Structure 1
Amino acid sequence: MPRDTDRSESTPAPADRSETAVEERYRKIFRHSNDAIMIVDFDAEEIVDVNPASCELLGYAEEALLGMHPEDIHPDDIDRVRERFISEVRESGSGWTDDLSCLTRDGERVPTEISGAVLEDGTAGPPTRMVAILRDISERVEHRRQLEEKVDRLERFAQVLSHDLRNPLSVVDGHLDLARETGDPKHFEAAQDAVDRMDELVDELLALVREGDAVGAQESVALEDVSRRAWRSVSAGEATLRCETDLTFAADPSRLQELLENLFRNAVQHCESGVNLTVGPIESPDAVGFYVADDGPGIEPERTERLFEWGYTSEERGTGFGLAIVERIADGHGWDLTVTDSDAGGTRFEFTGLTVASETT
């Protein structure tokens, strides 16, 4: 009998075992969740407990996070955190907000969505603590940004199609009428020129819309070799190209050639007589890259800011998309692009931030 009495005194009641199991279950969820979870004291506005995912998200050790305040993590959004999240949780028992910026220990801002709920059931008085669950939505935000850029490109595409194609279409229509009336073949030639311009517009627009700043597999390329191939595809007339580089670096060969073709074509189109172009390396302690320079008339300062806008051109026969393509290809490679005056008084496009494979000076 005493042994039975001892067993009954030392063994938890079924209800106690159930409460212990539930507590342990939630403790495991708290510790092993992929989302950051924090326990916040309402009155002190102080973090009193965190899980490992919180430390991973924010870059702090657990001891450093304990005692921190929401404003330490959300300095840019603290008013919204208090007024639209903490207050809502305290008053209604739960709350949610998205696109909330979290400041990490390294100074990086991470977009998150946060949901929260009070910990007490309210029977013992007003709630004193809440649980906040933070989810990193960086990939979602980046995906949304890319979609917005695609929509923007498509909108511009539609605008240009409806605007810039009307002029050559009007030219075709007018010259066909004149050809019917006069029978003069020169009107067919003028109509063909307008058709060629429309074809060029459509090709460059499709390059922007389909490829944007997308870059394929990169490999080691020789700048001189790609420059020569690009030059052969340009109707250069009396223009000349000089390559003064043995630079090799990592790039998507086809898109680099496309970039150079557009730069060469732009220089040829903007010079009344033959222009001389030079491709060379940029070698300095602060930058590694290459340049494309010409001895043309240069660019007026007031036009520099608009050079890479879609459809912007100062030439009657220009499409206004060549330099926009150049900028997007450079962005896709992660290169920095600047425009300045060349030594010969023309224009110089500089590309830096290259990953150099080998270089001979």
Structure 2
Amino acid sequence: MREDSTASESRRAADENGDGGDADYRALGERAVDAAVVLLDDEGRVATWNASARRLTGYDRTTARGEAVDAVLDADVGATTLLEETDAAGRVEVECVARDSDGEAYDAHVAVTSLRDDDVPDAPATPGVRADGYALVVRDVTDYRSERRSLERRNERLAAFAGSVTHDLRNPLSAALAQLDVARAQYPGESHPHLDSAYQSLLRMNDRIDEALTLAHEGARSVERTAVSLSTVTERAWNVAGPETGTLAFADPPETVSADESRLRRLLENLFENAGSHAGPEVTVEVGGTEDGFYVADDGPGIPESGRDSVFQYGVTGDDDGTGFGLAIVTAIADAHDWRVSVGESRSGGARFEVAFGRSSRQSR
């Protein structure tokens, strides 16, 4: 197999300098400009590292080589402990607070991987002896965590605001519905189209309030993942939201996914309600697996290609009785899981919604 030009150049430079694999690792590490890459020997001493490691820690390569990793990675999670855990697991990832050579703190994501004895160059303290070692990758995630905390605070404020508004709206709405109930009860058996129309409008408003509050809460709640049986949660969602005369079918869905079970169930319920409202009570809905997630497909009329980009926006509905929040809630739940939702056409010409998992969602078959 032919080497690419960069690898070939690195190997030639290694041969010229007599560094062998050491130079190869330096070349690979230097390309990782967004992360500090540190190679350690079997005793946790620094063998080599890249320029990003020097910038992040404040130590230069000459000072660091041969030093114990604790001396250059000052973190609230002991590096020695991480190495011990890596020996048992093969790979460990943690988020912690670290400090550079000037004592400045930063939020760090640290990943440690165990290497074979021929994967890592030796530290100078043990010349000529090759030993098992570790690859340590550190990223400064201070900005990311700050943005995440800021977003969480904004979402919490949004949920509180939505709760306050819905409370203020629901009280007069409930009073109006009660008054209409009294008026309709005074004239039993008679037709009052205006009262009936007003009553239905108020019920529709109540549904919109419920859905708006749900949408706000879905954006604010944190995700609590567990290993969830997709077929089990699908059947539960169908029992709640699937049409009684409809049919649920499976086509090799993932056995388990890493998800918040209650929110995944709500996502499926909304998709089933959407299928029933557009395809009718006799709809057949199929849940199956894809390369990176699962799909929910129906045999209804489908969604025109020109309208697929807007179906997930709140307020957009093709049903006269719809609130326009159902698919927006699906998107909010997916976003909270770092999933992606798209819509296309099923084999029968109906709607097919695909959910693609993020890296943090495990699936098995």
1:264 matched to 2:269? The reply is no
- Spell out, residue by residue over 1:122-159, the C-alpha distance to the aligned partner (whole angstroms, 9 max, x if none): xxxxxxxxxxxxx9554433333344455566777889
What secondary structure sits across from 1:233 in the alignment? Answer: helix
1:145 matched to 2:151? The reply is yes
1:302 matched to 2:306? The reply is yes
**More deviation, 229-238/149-158:** 149-158
8 Å contact from structure 1 (residues 310, 321) kept in 2: yes
One-letter code aligned to 1:267: A
Q: CA deviation at 1:253?
A: 1.2
8 Å contact from structure 2 (residues 312, 328) kept in 1: yes
Alpha carbons of structure 1 residues 62 and 320: separation in structure 2 relative to 1, 3 Å: same
8 Å contact from structure 1 (residues 169, 194) kept in 2: no
8 Å contact from structure 1 (residues 293, 346) kept in 2: yes
The residue that corresponds to 1:358 in the other structure is: 364
The residue that corresponds to 1:322 in the other structure is: 326
The residue that corresponds to 2:343 in the other structure is: 339
- Spell out, residue by residue over 1:325-347, the C-alpha distance to the aligned partner (whole angstroms, 9 max, x if none): 11111111121211111111111
The whole-number CA distance in structure 1 between the counterparts of 2:191 and 2:337 is: 46
The whole-number CA distance in structure 2 between the counterparts of 1:171 and 1:299 is: 37
The residue that corresponds to 1:116 in the other structure is: none
Q: What pairs up with 1:26-45 in 2 under 5 angstroms?
A: none
- Which of residues 221, 229, 233 is equivalent to 1:222? 229
Alpha carbons of structure 1 residues 58 and 204: separation in structure 2 relative to 1, 3 Å: farther
In the alignment of these two chains, the number of paired residues is: 233
Structure 1, unpaired ranges of 5+: 1-53, 65-109, 111-134
Q: What pairs up with 1:69-148 in 2 under 5 angstroms?
A: 137-148=143-154
Q: CA deviation at 1:233?
A: 0.5
Alpha carbons of structure 1 residues 142 and 333: separation in structure 2 relative to 1, 3 Å: closer
TM-score (norm 1): 0.52
8 Å contact from structure 2 (residues 293, 363) kept in 1: no
What secondary structure sits across from 2:237 in the alignment? Answer: helix
Alpha carbons of structure 1 residues 272 and 206: separation in structure 2 relative to 1, 3 Å: same
The structure having more radius of gyration, on CA atoms, is: 1
- Which of residues 241, 245, 250 is equivalent to 1:243? 250
What secondary structure sits across from 1:242 in the alignment? Answer: strand
Q: CA deviation at 1:203?
A: 2.9
The residue that corresponds to 1:92 in the other structure is: none
One-letter code aligned to 1:244: A
1:275 matched to 2:275? The reply is no
Alpha carbons of structure 1 residues 265 and 325: separation in structure 2 relative to 1, 3 Å: same
The whole-number CA distance in structure 2 between the counterparts of 1:300 and 1:149 is: 33
8 Å contact from structure 1 (residues 256, 329) kept in 2: yes
| Identity value in percent | 32
One-letter code aligned to 1:184: G
What secondary structure sits across from 2:334 in the alignment? Answer: helix
Q: CA deviation at 1:179?
A: 3.1
One-letter code aligned to 1:255: R
8 Å contact from structure 2 (residues 279, 298) kept in 1: no
Alpha carbons of structure 1 residues 266 and 353: separation in structure 2 relative to 1, 3 Å: same
The residue that corresponds to 2:217 in the other structure is: 210
8 Å contact from structure 2 (residues 218, 329) kept in 1: no
Alpha carbons of structure 1 residues 57 and 249: separation in structure 2 relative to 1, 3 Å: farther
The whole-number CA distance in structure 2 between the counterparts of 1:350 and 1:218 is: 20
Q: What pairs up with 1:175-186 in 2 under 5 angstroms?
A: 179=184, 182-184=187-189
The whole-number CA distance in structure 2 between the counterparts of 1:302 and 1:173 is: 43
What secondary structure sits across from 1:269 in the alignment? Answer: helix
TM-score (norm 2): 0.52
The whole-number CA distance in structure 1 between the counterparts of 2:244 and 2:293 is: 28
The residue that corresponds to 1:76 in the other structure is: none
Structure 2, unpaired ranges of 5+: 1-50, 62-105, 107-140
Q: Cα RMSD between the aligned structures?
A: 4.2
